Amino acid sequence: MAQALSLARLALGQVSPNPAVGAIIVNNDEVIGQGYTQPPGSDHAEIAALKQAGERACGGVMYVTLEPCCHHGRTPPCTRAIIASGIREVHLATLDTNRLVSGRGKKELEEAGIKVYSGEHEAEARRINEAFTKFITGGIPFVTAKFAMSLDGKIATRSGDSRWITGEAARKQAHYLRYTNDAVMVGVNTVLADDPQLTVRCNSKGGTVKKQPLRVIVDSNGRTPPSARVFTEPGQTVLALCKSLKKGDRAALTRSGAQLLELPPRNGQVDLRELLKALGKRDITSVLVEGGGCLLGSLFDSELVDKVIAFIAPLIIGGKEAGTAVAGRGVDKLTDALRLDEISTEQVGEDLMICGYVSAKKQGQK
């Protein structure tokens, strides 16, 4: 199962809105087939593994990270292919939360006489598809807030200099995070200050990047210049607005390649909840928010963040006018502060990466 989970990770960010799944087929203690989810409309992990195994799959054992589908979507049900192959035993890490499956796939295999075991490495399997789970049950993407800061919580100096707070290893990890997410989101101030590309320029294996994440700029009043680099890079860029632009400005941005998305305002700014709903309608299952502080603060204030990934560099920047990672309204009392659960830490080069999930409980509700 561990090998199947490794295969599933290869599909992250590349196969949405489908889940990232890995499958291994073993017969006589030999791996005879393996595969992972291909882009929508192509083979699921189980089918890729069965094709590789061929007739040798008969009498074999399949290890798969998610319950096989039992319904017609873009492709036929995987359960029927497994049954037809003669597989005698299936080990699945976790059941599918999709209401079209949700135990039905397991039941169909069992009714065909296949022994089914579930729960192996379940927690890890669920983490791999945490975005898919939120999307398929609620229709909106999973939101990860990612930022890099100094030990004293600064994301830039008082003059605005921010390149580079973290080292090369952390920046490479940030590209991997982009690779595994469907969309990358920033606020307009980040575009105006840094003119970022917001693209993946290396993946986990250092190979060619086939799919770029959707770039989303939250720009309530349409201040993004048509000359911004995000419009010249491979992939698509959405400009989220809450103000109708002048005809000339709209035309210039459209010519640059921007996709304009007008949303109703909330307190004079783009309604971020409505933005996430709109992205969900585009089958975006995961969003990596990279700043700046105002956008991250608004997302935290609105309780729209699911996960936090913070890179902390061994630097002291100082300065009361220097930028901070999370702005917004914030809280008045520490008892109202957001907590993180399931925290993990990792040394990434000279920097520290801290990951955690936003808790439903407040700081004072331990």
Whether the pLDDT of residue 115 is over 50: the answer is yes
The two tokens of residue 332 are 């008045």
Per mean pLDDT, which range of 100-109, 181-190, 210-219 is the poorest? 100-109
Per mean pLDDT, which range of 92-101, 214-223, 283-292 is the poorest? 92-101
DSSP state of 57: G
The one catalytic residue in 46, 67, 108, 290 is: 46
Whether the pLDDT of residue 110 is over 50: the answer is yes
pLDDT score of 68: 94
Whether the pLDDT of residue 234 is over 50: the answer is yes
Predicted confidence (pLDDT) per residue in 146-180, tens digit: 999 999 888 888 887 777 889 899 989 999 999 99
The two tokens of residue 82 are 């497994």
The amino acid present at 298, given as its one-letter code, is: S
Report the alpha-carbon distance of residue 9 to residue 7 in Å, rounded.
Answer: 5
Is 274 a catalytic site residue?
no
Predicted confidence (pLDDT) per residue in 178-196, tens digit: 999 999 999 999 999 889 9
Q: Return the exposure string of 77-113: e unless at least 16 CB atoms fall within 10 Å of the residue's CB, then b.
A: bbbbbbbebebeebbbbbbbbbeebeebbbebbeeee
Residue closest to 198 by CA, chosen among 149, 169, 224, 233: 233
Whether the pLDDT of residue 322 is over 90: the answer is no
Peptide linkage before 292 cis (omega within 30 of 0): yes
Whether the pLDDT of residue 365 is over 80: the answer is no
pLDDT score of 361: 65
pLDDT score of 158: 85
Longest dimension (CA), the chain: 69
206 CB-side CA count, 13 A:
1
Average pLDDT for residues 288-316, to the nearest whole number? 94
Average pLDDT for residues 261-269, to the nearest whole number? 89
pLDDT score of 267: 86
* Residues in Cβ contact with 124 at an 8 Å cutoff, skipping those fewer than 6 apart: 5, 93
pLDDT score of 30: 94
